[in-house]
Amino acid sequence: ERSVRSGTPLSLVLLDLDNFKSINDSFGHNCGDRVLTAMAGALFGNKRLYDLAARVGGEEFALILPGSGLGQADGIAERLLAEIRQLRVTCEGVDDPVSFTCSAGLVCTRGRTPLSVERFVDLADKALYEAKAQGKDRVVNAPTPDLLDASQTTLVHAEEKQFLFTGPDT
C-alpha cells in the first residue's frame, strides 16, 4: 500500500537454499544449521538500512527492498548469490568446508497499481520455482505486475474496439 501511495517501486526477493536436504542428510543437522546461519549472515550483510530481511520457512528467506526498481533489485540479488557461492562453512566431523548455493525469485512493482500481498508473493514464488527449474543458483525475474495489469487492460480495450467495429464473434 505504501508503494502505491507514494508511487515508488517495491521489490521482493525470495531465496531458497539449493539442495539443502542433501546437506542435512550428508553432513548432519548441525551442519545444516551452520549453513542457515551463514545464509542469514550474508542476507543481513547485504541489506540496506531500510530493507527487510527474514527467514520465512525451513531454508527459505525473503528480502524486501523498498524504493528499489527491477534493475537495482536484480543487482542486489545477483551480488548476494555471488557472495553466497564464495561462502564456506566448517562443520564438525567434515574434513572439507561445505559450500552451498541458493536460487532466487524476484518481483518488482512500480507502485502504480494496487497489488495484494498474496499476489506479489505468489509472483516471486513462481519466479523462484523457475530459477530452480532452470538449474538453480540463479535469479529469475517475475513479470512486472504493473505491466501485466496494463497489458490486460490494453487487451480488453482492443477487444471492445473490435466489437464496436465488427460486432460479436460468430
- Alpha-carbon span 101 to 84, nearest angstrom: 6
Secondary element (H or E) of residue 111: none
Q: Report the C-alpha gap between 41 and 43 in whole angstroms.
A: 5
Q: Looking at residue 18, what DSSP letter applies?
A: T
What cell does 113 get? 497499481
Maximum pairwise Cα distance, the chain: 76
User: Which amino acid, one-letter code, is at 136?
Assistant: K
Residues labelled as active-site residues: 59
- In 3D space, the residue among 136, 69, 128, 135 whose CA is nearest the CA of residue 101 turns out to be 136
Q: Which residues contact 25 (CB under 8 A, 6 or more apart)?
A: none
